[in-house]
């Protein structure tokens, strides 16, 4: 009898590990798909946490109501798409990008997290960056810790998957993606073999019945904190 129980436990452990692999595979595909949709300007999950803006929009909001602007953007991640009007240096010799609005007398200042990135930016360069808003504005908006969108999301994917790899199925998630991963994991344990047929995140999302069940499981595990997206640390 003890031998039978031991074999059953080993089988269960083995299946749980397989289910976990399925969950990791699909959540990584989902995150990659969402990043791709975000970068193309589509309706991504990430768009709810990282607004896309341009220089003229920020300048207009700032000039209309500085207090409201700072309430909206202080410590907020933003994806700015604009054109560089030039690269200058501050009193410390650190480079920053200037992006003009409708004329040369109004601009947004973009302070780079990696100073050497300035070597590849010239007047007229297209800018696509993830930055952090701040209250420390002088005459026009200033964005800090700016990195290219590609490098940001590469780090974001690495950090998110690193966190997911450390999760146990009964842990509390720290992000919406972690919650969905735990939902995938539990679903695969309860419905063995079902997720095997989904080779892409798109295939899974189109299967309304399975997707809705996974989403319900994810929502049952979510906490208020899962809405807090932060800049990945380098």
Give domain limits for the chain.
Answer: 21-46+167-227, 51-148
Looking at residue 226, its pLDDT comes to 66
Residue 20 confidence (pLDDT) above 70: yes
- The tokens describing 42, both together, are 């589509």
Q: pTM of the entire structure?
A: 0.83
Q: Are 181 and 189 in contact (CB under 8 A)?
A: no
Of 19-28, 36-45, 122-131, 177-186, where does mean pLDDT reach its minimum? 19-28
Q: Are 101 and 108 in contact (CB under 8 A)?
A: yes
Q: Tell me the backbone φ, ψ of residue 6, rounded to 5 degrees.
A: -60, -45
Looking at residue 105, its pLDDT comes to 83
Looking at residue 233, its pLDDT comes to 47
Residue 82 confidence (pLDDT) above 80: yes
Q: What is the mean pLDDT of the chain?
A: 87
Mean pLDDT confidence for 204-213: 94
Nearest to 49 by CA among 156, 205, 154: 156
Selected from 3.40.50.2300, 1.25.40.10, 2.40.50.140, 3.40.50.720, the CATH number assigned to the domain covering 51-148 reads 2.40.50.140
């Amino acid at each position: 009898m003890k031998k039978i129980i031991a074999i059953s436990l080993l089988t269960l452990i083995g299946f749980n590990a397989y289910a976990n692999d399925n969950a990791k595979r699909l959540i990584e595909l989902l995150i990659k798909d969402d990043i791709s949709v975000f970068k193309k300007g589509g309706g991504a999950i990430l768009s709810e946490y990282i607004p896309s803006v341009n220089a003229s929009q920020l300048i207009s909001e700032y000039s209309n109501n500085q207090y409201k602007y700072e309430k909206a953007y202080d410590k907020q991640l933003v994806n700015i798409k604009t054109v560089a009007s030039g690269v200058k240096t501050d009193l410390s010799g650190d480079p920053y990008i200037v992006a003009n609005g409708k004329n040369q007398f109004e601009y947004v200042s973009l302070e780079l997290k990696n100073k050497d990135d300035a070597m590849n930016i010239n007047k007229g360069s297209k800018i696509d960056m993830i930055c952090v808003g701040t209250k420390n504005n002088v005459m026009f908006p200033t964005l800090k810790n700016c990195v290219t969108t590609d490098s940001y999301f590469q780090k974001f994917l690495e950090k998110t998957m690193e966190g997911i790899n450390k999760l146990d199925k009964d842990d509390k998630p720290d992000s919406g993606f972690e919650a969905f991963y735990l939902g995938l994991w539990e679903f695969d344990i309860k419905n063995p073999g079902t997720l095997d047929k989904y080779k892409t995140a798109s295939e899974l999302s189109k299967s309304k019945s399975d997707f809705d069940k996974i989403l319900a499981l994810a929502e049952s595990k979510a906490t208020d904190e899962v809405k807090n997206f932060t800049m990945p640390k380098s």
